[in-house]
């Protein structure tokens, strides 16, 4: 079985281009499971959820996030945060990738 399914829940990705600066965070799947419930009934299956929240920052606000850039991001293992595993690359598995992007203000 060579299957891949993609579930997309937002049109906010294009909003990135509207901002010179953004602050963002990936939410762990457990934080969104109660709000967005999806069940996959095929086995074997790898289900990966990427839920990103972000907001645009003015040049004045960027200073509040000093030190919260690439170095901080590299200190966290994003794969652990979102529950990604090597099985997500296995073409023998039925794979589902759900992405959600939410702009907050």
Q: What is the pLDDT of residues 60-78, one digit of tens each?
A: 998 887 777 666 677 777 7
Task: Write down the pLDDT at residue 2.
Answer: 47
Query: Rounded mean pLDDT of 40-60?
Result: 85
Task: Write down the pLDDT at residue 94.
Answer: 87
Domain tally for the chain? 1
Which residue range forms the structural domain that includes residue 73? 3-103
Between these two residues, 59 and 100, which has the higher pLDDT value?
59
Report the predicted TM-score, pTM, of the whole model to 2 decimal places.
0.70
Reference 85, options 32, 44, 35, 37; nearest CA is: 44
- Confidence at 1, pLDDT banded by 50, 70, 90: very low
Between these two residues, 9 and 50, which has the higher pLDDT value?
50
Task: Using DSSP, state whether 88 is helix, strand or coil.
Answer: helix
Distant-in-sequence, close-in-space partners of 36: CB < 8 Å, separation ≥ 6 = 9, 51, 100
Between these two residues, 7 and 60, which has the higher pLDDT value?
60
């Amino acid at each position: 079985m060579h299957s891949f399914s993609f579930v997309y829940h937002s049109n906010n990705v294009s909003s990135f281009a509207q901002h010179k600066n953004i602050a963002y965070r990936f939410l762990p799947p457990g934080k969104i499971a109660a709000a967005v419930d999806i069940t996959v009934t095929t086995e074997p299956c790898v289900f990966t959820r990427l839920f990103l929240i972000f907001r645009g920052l003015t040049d004045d606000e960027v200073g509040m996030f000093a030190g919260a850039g690439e170095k901080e991001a590299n200190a966290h293992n994003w794969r652990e945060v979102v529950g990604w595993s090597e099985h997500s690359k296995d073409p023998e598995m039925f794979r589902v990738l759900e992405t959600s992007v939410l702009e907050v203000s």
